[in-house]
Amino acid sequence: MALVMHKDSSNQQMDTSKYVRYTPEQVEALERVYAECPKPSSLRRQQLIRECPILSNIEPKQIKVWFQNRRCREKQRKESSRLQSVNRKLSAMNKLLMEENDRLQKQVSHLVYENGFMRQQLHSTSGTTTDNSCESVVMSGQPQQQQNPNPQHSNRDANNPAGLLAIAEETLAEFLSKATGTAVDWVQMIGMKPGPDSIGIVAVSRNCSGVAARACGLVSLEPMKVAEILKDRLSWYRDCRCLNVLSVIPTGNGGTIELIYMQTYAPTTLAAARDFWTMRYTTSLEDGSLVVCERSLTTSSGGPAGPPPSTFVRAEMLPSGYLIRACEGGGSIIHIVDHIDLDVWSVPEVLRPLYESSKILAQKMTIAALRHIRQIAQETSGEIQYSGGRQPAVLRTFGQKLCRGFNDAVNGFADDGWSAMSSDGLEDVTIVINSSANKLPGSQYKTSMYPSFGGVMCAKASMLLQNVPPALLIRFLREHRSEWADYGVDAYSAASLKASPYAVPCARPGGFPSSQVILPLAHTVEHEEFLEVVRLEGLAFSPEDVALAGRDMYLLQLCNGVDENAVGACAQLVFAPIDESFADDAPLLPSGFRVIPLDPKTDEPTANRTLDLASTLEVGANGARSGGEADLSTYNLRSVLTIAFQFTYENHLQENVAAMARQYVRSVVGSVQRVAMAIAPSQLSSNIGIKPLPGSPEALTLARWICRSYRIHVGAELLQADSQSGDAMLKQLWHHSDAIMCCSVKANASAVFTFANQAGLDMLETTLVGLQDIMLDKILDEAGRKILCSEFPKIMQQGFTNLPSGICVSSMGRPISYEQGVAWKVLNDDDSNHCLAFMFINWSFV
C-alpha cells in the first residue's frame, strides 16, 4: 500500500513539474546557451545545470523540453516572417496588377473609341460626297500623344535653367504617360508571368517610333537606394562604355537636372557604336514617388548642344526613365521604360533587325536593370552565399571586366589606342593592335621591364548563322571546348601571365590535346549568367611540349544567355587566362563568342516578288505538322556570331603572331560552322508535302521549269535521270551541291533574288525570307558585273552562257570564289521568260 501511494505521489510530482515557471534570470541563462548551441546534448544540459545554480531546481528533462519549444518558436517565427514577406509581395503585386489592369482598360476603351470613330468616318466617305476635309477630321479624332508632334521650342534658352526645367517637366509628363498610361501600345513578352518570385511584368512596344520596352517589378530595397543603383548605368548596363555627367543643375522643386554624354559599344564588328546626349531629371511626385526620367537633347526638343559624335553614330533617347514607389512594409515598386531610336538606316540591311527589335532592347537594358537590382537586394539581405570566400561585389567586378574587355576588343576604338593592321588580301578576319603601355593595368607588361613588349593584338570576325539557336550553340562551345579550341594557342595566352611572358614565341595550332574541368564560382538569381574557372589539363607527347603541358592552365569564364526560352536574349561566352593566384586585381585579356538573334521578318504575302520555297514545304506525308512542332518561321531564324581573340606579342614577332591569329580565328570559324550545321534543325524531312502559293507557281512547277529550261538551252540534264518525278526532282534541286538561284528580270528594275537552294542560301549567308532583299549586282564584284552585262544579250538570244571563274560576296560581305558559273533563262509552260537562273560550281569562302 505504501508502495502504491509512493508511486501515485511520484506521478503527481512529475505532472506538476511540467508546468514550471521560469524566472527572467533562468530564461536569460538558457537564451545564452541557445545562442551558442540551439540543440545541446544531454551531457551539455547536465553541465549547464551544474554551472548555473539558478537552474538547479529544474530537471534535465524539462530543460530538454525548453530547448525543443525554443527551436519550435524560432521555426515558427521564421515561417511567420516568410509568410508576412510573401503576403507583402502579393499585396504589392496585386496593387501593381490592378494598376496594370486599369491601364489596359483605358487602352481598350481608347481603341474601341478609335475603331468606332474610324468606322463612322469610313461610312461617311463611302457616300457620293467628295469632301476632302474628312482627313483632317480623322486626324483630329486621334489622341494627341499618339501623333508625337514636334513642338516648337524657340522660346527656350539653352543657357537658361528655366528653359531646361520646361524640357524636364515635359519629359516627365511623356515618361509617365508611357510608364502608367497608354502613350505606347505595349505587348507583354512571352514567358514573363507576374508573381511574387518573378522578375516582374515585361512588355515591348508595337507600332511606335524607335524601339521601346517597359517593366514593372518589386524589390526589397528602399526607393533612394534603387534610384542610386539605376543611375549608375555603368554598373549594370554591359553595353555602356562611358557615362559622363557634364553638368548638374538644381531645380526649385528640390530635384536635379543633369546633362549627360554616354557612349555605348556596338554589339558586332559590322556596325558603328552609338552615343547619346541626354538630359536626366530627378524629382519627387506629390504622392512621394521618386522619378528619374531622361531624354535626348536635339534641335527639336531644345536645350544646349552636346559633344560632336566623332566616330559614333548619334542615337536618340526618347522620354524614358524610372518610377519608384515605396511599398508598405518596406521595399519598392519599380516601373522602367526604355525608349530609343538607334538610327537603323545607318547599319547594313542584314543587321537592321538587331536595331529594330524591342525584345533585344528589353533583354539588354530593361530586364538587365531589374535583375541587377534584385541581385543587389538578395546579396544585401544575405540570401545569396558564394563559395570561395569572395565578396559578391568582387565577383560582379570580374564579370564586368570580362564583358568590358571583350567589348573593347570587338569595337577597337582609336581613342583606346587600337589601330588596324594591313590585311593579308582577305577581309574575313580583321587584325587590330594596341601598343598602349596601360592596356593591361597592374600587370607586369611595362616597357621598362620588357622593352620588347609590343602590345595586345586582337583578331576578330563576324558571320551570319542560320537556324541555330544562340543558346544551344554557346552551350555547346562551353561544354565541348576541345571541338574548337587549340591547346597550343591557349598555352601561348597563358604564358603571357608567367614571369617570363614570352617563353612561347608563337603558338602552334594543332598542338597537344587537353581536357577541361569547370569549377563554378557564382551565378545570378535566375541562373541566366554564371562565372566559373576552367582548368585546362594538357597532355604532352614530345619533349619540347613538356614545359607547357606539364602544368595546368586556368581561364576565368563568363557565360550568359543559355536559356533557350528567353526571347531576344544574347548568348555569350567570354574567357580570359588567369594564373593560380587569381588575385582580385588580376589583369584580364578576354576573348570569346557572342551570338545575337535577328528577329525573323514577317512573312507577308509577296508572291509576286519572291518564291519562298520554304513556305511550300511541310513535314509529314500529308503536309500536316504536329501541334507541338515549332512554327515554320523558326526555320528562318538568323543570328549574328561575333568572334574576338586577344593575344600579347613582342615587337619583333608582330607579323608572326598576326599570321597565327588569322589562322587560328579562321580555324575557329570553320569549327563553329561545322558545329552549327550539326546542331541546326533540318529544314527538310524525308517526307515532303507541297502547298500551293497563290499568285505564283508551286514549288514542283518551278523546279520543273528550271530543269526543263536547262535541258533545252544547255543540252544537258541538270539533275540525275532517275529524279524526273515531282518530289524527287524538288528534293534533288534543293540538295544539289552547287549553288542554284533565280532572280527576277524586269525592265527598269534591279534584279532581285527570288529563290535559292540550300547551297545557294549557304553561299549568300541568308535565308529564303531574307533572300528577297538581296540584289544580283550587290553580290558580284566589278569584273563580274562587266562580264554579265556583256553576256546578257547572249543569254537572251541563245538562252544561256558560261561564266568564267570569279569572286562574289555574300550578304555578310565575305568573299566567295567559284570555278565556273552558268546563267540561263527559265521559261514557263507558255515558253515565256519567267526568271533568270544561275549556278555557281565548286564555290567556297575565300
Give tens-digit pLDDT for 198-212: 667 889 988 888 999
- Phi/psi for 638 (5° steps) reads -120, 150
Helix (H) / strand (E) containing 460: strand 453-466
Q: What is the CB neighbour count within 10 angstroms for residue 628?
A: 5
pLDDT attached to residue 213: 94
CA-wise closest residue to 294 among 268, 262, 266: 262
Q: Which of 41-55, 191-205, 469-483 has the lowest mean pLDDT?
A: 191-205
Q: How far apart are CA 350 and CA 617, in angstroms?
A: 25
pLDDT attached to residue 123: 73
- Whether pLDDT at 445 is above 50: no
Helices and strands: H and E segment counts in the chain: 21, 30
Q: Which of 82-96, 514-528, 722-736, 749-763 has the lowest mean pLDDT?
A: 82-96
* Farthest-apart Cα atoms in the chain, separation: 134
Q: What is the pLDDT of residues 636-666, one digit of tens each?
A: 578 899 999 999 888 888 888 899 999 999 9
Per-residue confidence at 194, pLDDT binned at 50, 70, 90? low
Rounded to 10 degrees, the C-alpha dihedral 668/670/676/678 comes to -120
pLDDT attached to residue 739: 93
Q: What is the pLDDT of residues 546-570, one digit of tens each?
A: 444 456 788 999 999 887 777 778 8
Pairwise pLDDT comparison (690 vs 530), residue with the higher score? 530
C-alpha cell at 623: 503536309
Q: How far apart are CA 632 and CA 617, in angstroms?
A: 9
Q: How far apart are CA 605 and CA 611, in angstroms?
A: 10
Calculate mean pLDDT across residues 373-377: 89
Q: How far apart are CA 200 and CA 216, in angstroms?
A: 5
Q: Is there a contact between 457 and 649 (Cβ–Cβ < 8 Å)? A: yes
- Rounded (to 5) percent helix, strand, coil in the chain: 40, 25, 35
pLDDT attached to residue 229: 94
- Whether pLDDT at 463 is above 80: yes
User: Which residues touch 284 (CB under 8 Å, ≥6 apart)?
Assistant: 254, 255, 290, 291
User: Which residues touch 658 (CB under 8 Å, ≥6 apart)?
Assistant: 421, 431, 457, 459, 649
C-alpha cell at 70: 525554443
Q: What is the pLDDT of residues 404-437, one digit of tens each?
A: 999 999 999 998 889 988 876 677 889 999 987 6
Q: Which of 206-215, 328-337, 490-499, 624-633 has the lowest mean pLDDT?
A: 624-633
Q: What is the pLDDT of residues 717-774, one digit of tens each?
A: 888 765 566 677 888 888 888 999 998 876 556 678 888 888 888 888 877 766 777 8
CA-wise closest residue to 352 among 189, 211, 474: 211
Q: What is the pLDDT of residues 471-504, one digit of tens each?
A: 889 988 998 888 898 878 888 887 766 544 444 4
pLDDT attached to residue 834: 86
pLDDT attached to residue 149: 42
Pair type for strands 332-341 and 418-420: unpaired
Rg (CA), the chain: 34
Q: Is there a contact between 239 and 355 (Cβ–Cβ < 8 Å)? A: no
Q: How far apart are CA 395 and CA 405, in angstroms?
A: 16
Can you state the angle between helices 699-714 and 726-734, rounded to 10 degrees?
80
Per-residue confidence at 608, pLDDT binned at 50, 70, 90? very low
Pairwise pLDDT comparison (512 vs 124), residue with the higher score? 124
Q: Residues 62, 65, 67, 73: is their CA dihedral positive or negative?
A: negative
Name the pTM for this structure: 0.65
Per-residue confidence at 136, pLDDT binned at 50, 70, 90? very low
157, with CB counted inside 10 A (0-12, 13-18, 19+), is middle
Average pLDDT, the chain: 77
C-alpha cell at 95: 496593387
Q: What is the pLDDT of residues 296-319, one digit of tens each?
A: 998 887 778 888 877 899 999 999
C-alpha cell at 177: 504617360
- Phi/psi for 787 (5° steps) reads -65, -45
